Chain A
Amino acid sequence: MAVRILFKNAMLRSGISLRLNSLIYKRDSSYRSSPIAQDSSCYAKYEVSSSPEEWKFVERLLPLTTIPTPSDRKDLPSGWQPQTATFGKYPYFVHRTRNHMLPVYLKVSMRGTRRITQINNVDGNIWMLEEAIKKYLMRVYGDKKIIATKVHEVCGHLCIHGDHVSRVKEWLLKKGL
């Protein structure tokens, strides 16, 4: 950079045209100042191949633009199950995520001391879903265990105190949700 400024000053003193001076104001590693591609004869010789057989290898490297629809099979080795219940079968509905997964999450806070199970994407009557899940968990753990819940009706979130992720997922799959 310093060399360039010196060079510029020397040229100004000697009175060289401004057109040359504009070339000196050049910032490296910039898109605008990068050299414009010249005629192909200036570069190494190459041949152009438009073979569809070779292009297949390029196409498989490009990522999918949308998430593919999964199969309807129920006996998949990974244990994943499709949503069989239709909207309207129950007064409530839990939509799958965009990756076709159950929207049940474990939220850990307070340095790992507070564990909350959160169900997202709840549609319809969320209070009935809360009641049904509470009833199921009471049956699993016994009446003595307190199942504290929190309902966010507007966002469609249902929070349950404690880690019941696998139980809730099991229940939702049994319902076909």
Chain B
Amino acid sequence: MTSFTNKYVLNLLRNLPRLSISNLRNNDGAVKKNKRGRAQHGGDKHGHGNKGSKARQNFMRPGYETGNTPFYMKFPREQYYKDHHVKRQYPPLSLTTLQKMIDLNRIDISKPIDLSVLCNTGLYNINPEDKHFGVNLIDEGADNFKAKINVEVQWASEPTIAAIERNGGVITTSFFDVNSLFILINPKKFFQRGEAIPRRMIPPDDAILYYSSAANRGYLADPEKISWERFVLAQKYGYKLPKIEDDPDYDMLVSRKDQRQIFYGLEPGWVVNLKDKVILKPIDPQLKEFYRS
């Protein structure tokens, strides 16, 4: 039996072609085929056409690695700028710029300064559509600041507050909702529309703490606590706090807006007629109650 099989196999081998380099081939599945190149050019142009300045002199955005997973996206990290596009923005205005505006008579310091005064100069502007919620008065030029002002801003740091109070001035941080901001940054345009001045809304939950803090000179803070904080800051920064009570401009320095007021001296519900130079006031008790609440 065995001899017969051997004889058969040997006979087959004798007739088969010899094993050589020409008939060697890999086992099935030993070699993996390359991945399919994506896009029109098989993934070798990286979206920049064929040669030329457009393929070579292009400036990709920082961090882009032509199709690789960029380094900054490879690892989990703390998102420092998370939700930056929905956060409230406060475009800065330095004390240097403010002093320059005052020196060049662009701002009248015998009257209180607020956002509408700053925007009316034409040298500072905000856009509430870009989540701008007002002015951030920054402390650059705090040492050279010499003006005595009553200023209302939306954000201020401690050195800024100190620089203004050292010169006998007063600073308040106050919040305006978007509708009020549009009115405040261009009052003339609003008056021309012939609408009643609306009420100012209270700050949202995440801002109410800032605007009710006496250390930030918030407009919702207790005035007695603010006068205490003024004294504390004077001790901290080492200056003698000028007495507002003895100041000749006392009336200007103590003038403040109500929580519901957008403009100084003009109450919500009033309609300003620029053509006839008169103010229309509602006398309906229900309307009055609405605008007061």
Contacts and interface: CB of A to CB of B under 8 A. Distances in A.
Interface of A: 44-51, 54-58, 60-64, 67-71, 76-80, 99-100, 111
Nearest to B112: A60
Contacts of A62: 120, 187-188
B144 A44 contact: no
B188 A63 contact: yes
B263 A57 contact: yes
B191 interface: yes
A58 B104 CA distance: 23
Contacts of B187: 61-62
B264 interface: yes
Interface of B: 59, 96, 99-100, 102-106, 108, 111, 116-117, 120-123, 141, 144-147, 187-188, 191, 263-266, 271-272, 274, 277-284, 287
A54 B104 contact: no
B281 A49 contact: yes
Q: Give the top 6 A-B pairs by smallest Cβ distance, nearest first.
A: A57-B265, A63-B120, A61-B187, A77-B146, A78-B100, A68-B105
A47 B188 contact: no
Contacts of A78: 96, 99-100, 102-103, 141, 144
A166 to B, nearest CB: 14
Contacts of B111: 60
A49 B100 contact: no
Contacts of B99: 77-78
30 contacts: A44-B287, A45-B284, A46-B271, A46-B280, A47-B280, A47-B283, A49-B278, A49-B280, A49-B281, A50-B277, A57-B263, A57-B266, A58-B266, A60-B111, A60-B117, A60-B264, A61-B188, A63-B120, A63-B188, A68-B106, A76-B103, A77-B146, A78-B96, A78-B100, A78-B102, A78-B103, A78-B141, A99-B104, A99-B123, A100-B104
Contacts of A79: 144
Given A49-B279, A61-B188, A71-B103, 8 more contacts: A44-B284, A50-B278, A54-B279, A56-B265, A61-B263, A68-B104, A68-B105, A78-B100
B116 A61 contact: yes
The A contact surface, by secondary structure, is loop
A70 B287 CA distance: 46
Contacts of A69: 105
A111 B104 contact: no
A64 B120 contact: yes
A71 B105 contact: yes
Nearest to B116: A61
A98 B284 CA distance: 49
A70 B99 CA distance: 13
A46 B266 contact: no
A58 B103 contact: no
A22 B123 CA distance: 49
B115 to A, nearest CB: 11
Contacts of A46: 271, 280-283
Contacts of A48: 278-281
Contacts of A111: 59
A80 B104 contact: yes
A136 to B, nearest CB: 26
A49 B271 CA distance: 10
Contacts of A67: 106
A54 to B, nearest CB: 6
B56 to A, nearest CB: 15
B124 to A, nearest CB: 12
B87 to A, nearest CB: 28
A55 B263 CA distance: 12
Contacts of B122: 63
Contact of A70 (B103, B141, B284): B103
Contacts of A60: 108, 111, 117, 264
Nearest to B186: A63
A70 B144 contact: no
A57 B191 CA distance: 13
Nearest to B187: A61
A133 B155 CA distance: 43
